[in-house]
Amino acid sequence: MIKHLNITVQGKVQGVSYRATTKAVADQLGVRGFVKNTEDGGVYIEAEAESTLMDMFIEWCNEGPERARVTAVHTEEGDVKDYRNFEIVKKKIA
């Protein structure tokens, strides 16, 4: 069964290729959704995958790329949105 999680990651997760590496891991695992930076210095992810794949993805989110220092990962279940792929959401330019 497909599971949808809203994931908030805190710590040193901006400026360390967290979003790019998250996309690479998501693509490898077949996780769909998106990742973006938040204004408070964290990262927000919406992810959809089978439960066992999601467990592996969350495990990776707790580690992050080599230069990241993850201090907290919060997850909240949500409604499945049927994402087609995994994307990096960049900041909007005003």
For the chain, where are the alpha helices, taking DSSP H only?
Answer: 18-29, 51-63
37 is catalytic: yes
Residue 10 to residue 54: CA distance in whole angstroms: 19
Options 19, 32, 84, 85, the catalytic residue = 19
Interatomic CA distance for residues 55 and 78, integer angstroms: 15
One of 37, 62, 84, 85 is an active-site residue; which one?
Answer: 37
- In angstroms, the CA 46 to CA 26 distance is 11
Euclidean distance between CA atoms 18 and 38, whole angstroms: 12
The answer to whether 85 is a known catalytic residue is no
Residues designated catalytic: 19, 37
